[in-house]
Structure 1
C-alpha cells in the first residue's frame, strides 16, 4: 500500500509542534483522526514514530531516522510541481540564529549569497530550540553562543569577539580610559550574559548620579541607542564591527575592562550524506567570520569539535 504524502506532512507537523493536538488544530482535524493516520503510517513503515507523554509527543529514533527521507520525498514532489509549471526549483537552506546574533549574521550572509543558486530561510530562537531544529531537520545550520554538547550535532567555533565599550562619533567620553570615567554616563549595555551583571556592579560602585543603568537586547537596539540617543553601550565587538569601520561608532580604550568574550559557534547535524547547498553557506560563513572580530580563529583544527 502506497504511503500518502499528506501523512508524511502530518508526521513532520507533529515533529515540529511536539503535539498531536496542535498538529490536528493546524489542519482542523480531530485528534483521533490524526492518531489514526499516524497509526496507519507506523504500520506501513514498520516502526513506532512517536512516544506520547503528558505534554505532547516525542519523535522516536525511528522517526528521526525516517524524517530526512520524508522531507526529501516531499521536496522532490514540490520540485516536480514547480517543473511542470516551468519554474526551476532551487535548493533551500534554513538557518536558525539567536535573536542577539541575527542582525550581524543574517545581515552579512544574505548579501554575500545573493548570486548563489539557493534560497535561504532565516529564523530566530533560543539555543535549545535551535539544537532541536537541527536534530529534526527543521534547520540545516544554527548560530549559537558556546553551549553544551548535544549528541548528533557538530559545533565549530567561528570567532571570539571581545566585549567592548562604544559610543557614537564625537561623544564627550570617546577618549575615556577607565571604567570609572564612564560610570556616570547614559548607559545601556547589551545583555550578553552573567558577566554583564558583574560589569553593572562595577559601574554602580563608581556611579554618583541617581540614574538607572539599562540593559537591552538585541544588538541592533543597543546600536540604535548609541547612534541616535547618545548612550554608551558595552557589546560584542562583532555586533558593532561595521559601524566601527565606517567611523559612526568609536571604541573606548578602557584599560581596566576585563577580557570578556562572545564565542560564536555554527552548528549542524552530523551525517555522511553530502549537502552541497549547506556546504556553500557554511564556506561563506567561515569567510565572513574573519570580519566579525579582531581576533579571528584561524582554520578549524582544534576549534572543530565533533559531538557524539
Structure 2
C-alpha cells in the first residue's frame, strides 16, 4: 500500500460515496474503485459495505481508517518540517480564531498572508477559546488568538491588547438610547450568552460574583444564532464590539458601554512549541500581530494595544 491509496480510502470514508470522492479527488471513479479493491486484497478484508446510497465502513474499516488518518497526518507533518527549513516560510499553518474575532479578522489575515508569505497555506479553525487553547498545547493548532490565555509549557505567546465587553441590544430597543449601563443592572435584562467554558461567560460570571450579582442568561454557543436572537428583539447579549461590527454598521444593533465596572479581557497571539513548521508558524504569528495592531490603530477593532505590540520584539528568533 502507499500514501495515495490511504488518502483515497479516507476520502471515500468521509464522503460515504465513491462518485463524490472521485469528484473531490479529481480522479476517475473506475481508477478509484480499483485502488480500493487492490488495498482490500492486500489487507485481506472488506473495508466498506456497499449499498444503494453509497458505502459505509466495516468494523475493520473503521479501525484501519483511524490508523490511516494518523499515518497521513504524520507524513504531512514530516513534509512540513522539511519545508519549514527553507529560506522563505512555506507549508501549511493552522490558525485558531475565537468565534467573536474570526469573522472580522479572517479576510484581513488571508490578504496579509497572501501578500507577505505567499508560500504559506493558511488553514483557519474557528472555535471557542478554551477548545483552541487545548489544540495549541497538543500541537494540533500551530497559532491561535486567545482570550485571557494562561501560561503553559508548550506554548509561546505575546499579549496584544485589552478589549472591553459591551451590551448589544436591537436598534429598536428602548435601551438603544442609553449612553452606558451599570454592570449591576445588566442581568435584569433578558440575556443570551455562550455557555461555559466560553471566556466571555467566565469573565461575566466571575465579575458578577465579586459584585453580588446573579448572572442569569440563556445558553447559546452559536454566534450567528445569538445575533439572530438579538435582532429579533427577544434577547440582549454581551460581546466585544468587534464581534458584531457588521450588525452595527448595518444598523441592526447598538453597542452600549458597561460601567461600574467594565468587563474586559486580554488577547494574546499564541504559538505552539510542538508545531512541525516553526518557521512558518512564527511568520504567520508575526503577520497576525501586525494585522491586529493595524486594525486597532485604524479604529476598526476597538481595543487598547499593549505598549509592546510587536510579536517580533517579544519573540526574537
Secondary structure of 2:110's aligned partner: helix
Q: Tell me what 1:223 maps to.
A: 227
Unaligned runs of 5+ in 2: 7-59, 85-89
1:164·1:252 contact (CA, 8 Å) conserved in 2?
yes
Relative to the length of structure 2, the TM-score reads 0.55
1:109·1:285 contact (CA, 8 Å) conserved in 2?
no
Q: Tell me what 1:238 maps to.
A: 242
Q: How does 1:205-216 map to 2 (within 5 A)?
A: 213-216=217-220
Q: Tell me what 1:265 maps to.
A: 268
Unaligned runs of 5+ in 1: 10-21, 38-62, 77-89
Secondary structure of 2:304's aligned partner: coil
Shift of 1:235: 1.4
Q: Tell me what 1:150 maps to.
A: 152
Q: Tell me what 1:293 maps to.
A: 302
Matched, 1:196 2:204: yes
1:156·1:304 contact (CA, 8 Å) conserved in 2?
no
Q: How does 1:108-123 map to 2 (within 5 A)?
A: 108-110=108-110, 112-113=112-113, 117=118, 118-123=120-125
Residues in 2 aligned to 1:142 and 1:301: alpha-carbon distance in whole angstroms: 16
How many pairs align? 240
| Cα-Cα RMSD | 4.8
What is the CA deviation profile of residues 172-206 of structure 1, one whole-angstrom value per residue up to 9, with x for unaligned ones? 1112344466655432244513342357777977x
Residues in 2 aligned to 1:299 and 1:250: alpha-carbon distance in whole angstroms: 32
Q: Tell me what 1:25 maps to.
A: 63
Residues in 1 aligned to 2:101 and 2:267: alpha-carbon distance in whole angstroms: 9
Residues in 2 aligned to 1:146 and 1:285: alpha-carbon distance in whole angstroms: 16
Residues in 2 aligned to 1:148 and 1:173: alpha-carbon distance in whole angstroms: 36
Relative to the length of structure 1, the TM-score reads 0.57
C-alpha change, 1:251 and 1:28, in structure 2 (3 Å) is closer
C-alpha change, 1:169 and 1:100, in structure 2 (3 Å) is closer
What is the CA deviation profile of residues 83-102 of structure 1, one whole-angstrom value per residue up to 9, with x for unaligned ones? xxxxxxx7322112345544
What is the CA deviation profile of residues 3-41 of structure 1, one whole-angstrom value per residue up to 9, with x for unaligned ones? x996xx9xxxxxxxxxxxx998244779xxx9xx9xxxx
C-alpha change, 1:127 and 1:227, in structure 2 (3 Å) is closer
1:93·1:121 contact (CA, 8 Å) conserved in 2?
yes
Q: Tell me what 2:34 maps to.
A: none
